[in-house]
Structure 1
Amino acid sequence: MDVGSAEQTVVHFPQGLPGFEELTRFFLCERDGLWPLTLLVAVDTADVALPLLRSGEFLTDYLPSIPASDLRALDAKGAEDLDLFVVVTFDRDSGSISANLMAPICMNRARRLGRQVVLADGAYPLQYSLLPVCE
C-alpha cells in the first residue's frame, strides 16, 4: 500500500484491536482520494488496514458515552479529548455499506493512545446502514 504522502503519526493500541490483538501500532492514512474514509493501517504489516469514518462527518447524531474506565485507559479527561471513528464494512454480495456504531475506535492523538471501545449499553447497532446517509 502506498501511503507516502499520508500523515503518519503512530498511535499505540496497548490491547490491539479485536481480531488483531498482536498488532499494537497503527497510523491514520488521511488522503484526498480516500475522503470521506480514513484508513487505520497497521505499522508492522500494511496487509491490515481498516476503513474508518470520522464520527462527526456524517453521523452527527452519534454521541456515544465512553465509559470512565476507557477514558482512563486513553489518558483522557473526557470525550472532548478523543477523536472517534467507526469501522466501515463493505459487503460485496449485497452491495451494502455499514458502520459499526457499537464499537467505536477512540483515539487520544495528543497522547498517541487508541482502543476500540465496545459499548455495553445497547444504544447503537453493530451494523448501521450507511446507504441512506450517502444518498
Structure 2
Amino acid sequence: MLSELFFPEGLVGCAEWRHFALEQSPETAPLALLHSRDQPGLSLIVVDPRLVEPDYAPALEEADRAALGGGDGADLQWLSVLTVQNDPLVVTANLLGPLVVNRATGTARQVILSLSGYPAAYPVR
C-alpha cells in the first residue's frame, strides 16, 4: 500500500523535503519505506516506535496536533526512522524525533520530544 504524505515544514535539517510516499507491505512488515518525492533515490526505513520500545508513550503538544489537523489521536500514526550504523547488525531508532502522520489527511510532521528523555539513537534489539 502506498500513501502520499505531505510534511508542510519538511524534516528537521531538510526543510525542502516535504513530499513523501509511505510504502507499507506485508512482505516488509513491520518495516515500511518512506520515499522522498523531492529527492529521488532517497528512502528512509521507518517502524512503529512501540515495536522498538513497548513503553513508548510520547505526549503530542497541542501545536503539533493542530498542525496535523487536530482530532483525538485515533487517526495518528507514529513512525521512527531507523538508521543502520557502520556495523550492519547495529540499528538504531530515532525516538526523540518521531514522524507523526494524520492518516485521514496525509499531513505529517516530525516532532521533537525535547523534554521526553527519549534518545535519537535507541538501539534496536
Tell me the TM-score normalized by structure 1: 0.83
- Provide the rounded CA distance (Å) in 2 between the counterparts of 1:126 and 1:44: 24
- Secondary structure of the residue aligned to 1:123 is coil
2:105 pairs, out of 106, 111, 114, with 111
Aligned to 2:5: 11
Q: CA deviation at 1:67?
A: 0.7
Contact 2:58 2:116 in 1 (8 A): no
Give the fraction of aligned pairs with identical amino acids, expressed as a percent. Answer: 31
Structure with greater proportional helix content:
1
Aligned residues: 125
- For the structure 1 residues 79 and 121, does the alpha-carbon distance in structure 2 shift closer, same or farther, using more than 3 Å as the test? farther
Q: 1:1-135, aligned counterparts within 5 Å? A: 7-93=1-87, 95-131=89-125
- Provide the rounded CA distance (Å) in 2 between the counterparts of 1:129 and 1:56: 13
Deviating beyond 6 angstroms after TM superposition, the runs of 4 or more aligned structure 1 residues are: none
Q: CA deviation at 1:34?
A: 2.0
In structure 1, the gaps of 5 or more residues are 1-6
- Provide the rounded CA distance (Å) in 2 between the counterparts of 1:94 and 1:47: 20
Larger radius of gyration: 1
Deviations 1:92-133 (A, max 9, x none): 2373111110011000010110010001213211111112xx
Q: CA deviation at 1:58?
A: 4.3
Contact 2:49 2:95 in 1 (8 A): no
- Provide the rounded CA distance (Å) in 1 between the counterparts of 2:14 and 2:32: 18
Tell me the TM-score normalized by structure 2: 0.89
Q: CA deviation at 1:84?
A: 0.3
In structure 2, the gaps of 5 or more residues are none
Contact 1:76 1:82 in 2 (8 A): no
- Provide the rounded CA distance (Å) in 1 between the counterparts of 2:88 and 2:3: 35
Which amino acid in the other structure matches residue 27 of structure 2? G
Contact 2:52 2:93 in 1 (8 A): no
Contact 2:96 2:118 in 1 (8 A): yes
